Amino acid sequence: AQTVTQSQPEMSVQEAETVTLSCTYDTSESDYYLFWYKQPPSRQMILVIRQEAYKQQNATENRFSVNFQKAAKSFSLKISDSQLGDAAMYFCAYHTQGGSEKLVFGKGMKLTVNP
Amino acid sequence: KAGVTQTPRYLIKTRGQQVTLSCSPISGHRSVSWYQQTPGQGLQFLFEYFSETQRNKGNFPGRFSGRQFSNSRSEMNVSTLELGDSALYLCASSLIPGFSNQPQHFGDGTRLSIL
């Protein structure tokens, strides 16, 4: 079974600075998808960024980028120029390719952005 | 385009009762998945529906059930409620299952409290 581990339960960053959130996963599959979701106090899970395992190029979305190391099964999220609105719970998630829509989530990490 | 709509937003029940939660997916989305979120266990997959059929089920007791209607709206039911069922229940929809380039979109969840 796939597992996702987020080892840091909490982090803080100063506004305008850069922060990296770590995530590791375990799978025997060769093709899959990885996601970072953000959950603000409003509770809605918002997709931040996704990475397809067969693509070697790291995904980027504006201020958000990932460092995907397939061999190490590592999938970290870098947030540049942090903003107060980035404060939220961040979840790393794994998605099996094909068939099921089941997402396997990590425990999450609370990010605080200090003004 | 309206997002995923979950009703009710909050619900208070007592042990032994049953409850039904509703989820209306984004227009055109045909796959609906349900997740339970608790502080201790994090986000756990409950089940997934597509074309009124349950395609996948998580590791939850039979007290947890669901269904999907022809308009893709879904309901989940929990019978004989236990204190441990207190959680945020999240619904997610996607166009069709098995294609993760079309990621899941989440609703705001239903907060269920058991007294």
Question: Which pLDDT tens digit goes with each residue over B82-113?
Answer: 999 999 999 999 887 665 566 789 999 999 99
* Best to test chain B binding among A2, A36, A43, A101 (most B CBs inside 10 Å): A101
Residue of A nearest to B49 (CA): A101
Which of A35, A44, A102 is nearest residue B108 as measured by Cβ atoms?
A44
pLDDT for the residue B2: 78
Report the Cα–Cα distance between both ends of chain B, in Å, rounded: 37
Does the bond joining A41 to the residue before it have cis omega, within 30 degrees of 0? no
Q: Rounded to whole angstroms, how far apart are CA atoms B62 and B78? A: 9
Q: Which residues of A touch B100 (CB under 8 A)?
A: 33, 50, 52, 95, 97
**Closest Cα in chain B to A40:** B108
Instruction: Look at chain A and count its residues.
Output: 115
pLDDT for the residue B43: 94
For the stretch B27-70, pLDDT in tens is 999 999 999 999 888 999 999 999 999 988 999 999 999 999 99
**Interface touch A100/B31, C-beta < 8 Å:** no
Q: Output the pLDDT for position A99.
A: 61
pLDDT of residue B99: 59
Q: Which of B3, B56, B111 sits opposite A100 (nearest CB)?
A: B56
Phi first, then psi: give them for residue A98, nearest 5 degrees.
80, 140
- Residues of chain B found within 8 Å of residue A108, distances taken between Cβ atoms: 42-43
Handedness of CA A44, A105, A110, B39 (dihedral sign): positive
DSSP notation for B1-35: ----EEE-SEEEE-TT--EEEEEEPPTT--EEEEE
